[in-house]
Amino acid sequence: MASKPLVVFMRGVNVGKNKRFKPAELTRDLARFDVVNIGAAGTFVIRAAPSEAAIRAAITKWMPFDVEMMIAPGPDVTALEFPEHREKGDLRPFVSVLAGRPPKSPAMPLAVPGGAWQVKFLAVTGQFALSLWRRAEAGAVYYPNGVFEKHFGVSATTRDWKTIEKIQALLDRPE
């Protein structure tokens, strides 16, 4: 029986000078799992995953530092939809991948700050939270990941919707 692909989303890697590693080397060294580097910091499709535990263990052993990973089944990422909210004007769609079930769930939509919001969470579906972001004209800058963690109480890592579409296209291609 063929295994289902997994998608690994690493949190806080290759950002600035902190927690840097070479994704191409990880892809090469873990080739037995048919790893594909998506190109977004710490995002990989694992086509030949024996199990989530095996992938988590292999990556943890390989990494030169501790890394938090959110791992999602490929079919769950493929099924993810962001209806009616494509990038337009100053709005950018994002997906936060959750480390676990949120202990609290604010009413949706959740807009931060209120009024002229910068981040608006539209829905939480399974392991994913869908949000829109727009650039602030002045003042404090809010980013979907920080807003999510503060208001939902669970760790997450966030990717632009274009990255999710790239993953979906890769998963839809026959091997």
- The model's pLDDT over 56-90, given as tens digits with 9 standing for 90+, comes to 999 999 998 999 999 999 999 999 998 766 667 78
- The model's pLDDT over 110-150, given as tens digits with 9 standing for 90+, comes to 999 877 889 999 999 999 999 999 887 767 788 899 999 99
Q: By three-state DSSP, how is residue 156 classified?
A: strand
Instruction: Give ranges for CATH 3.30.70 in the chain.
Output: 6-77
CATH architecture of 6-77: 2-Layer Sandwich (3.30)
DSSP letters of 45-103? EESS-S-HHHHHHHHHHHSSS--EEEEEEHHHHHH---TT---BTTEEEEEEEESS--S
In whole angstroms, what is the distance from residue 107 CA to residue 119 CA?
14
User: How far, in Å, are 28, 41, 68, 102, 155 from residue 150 at the CA level?
Assistant: 36, 22, 18, 11, 9
- Whole-model pTM: value is 0.91
> Strand pairing partners for 13?
none
Half-sphere exposure of 106 (CA within 13 A, CB side): 17
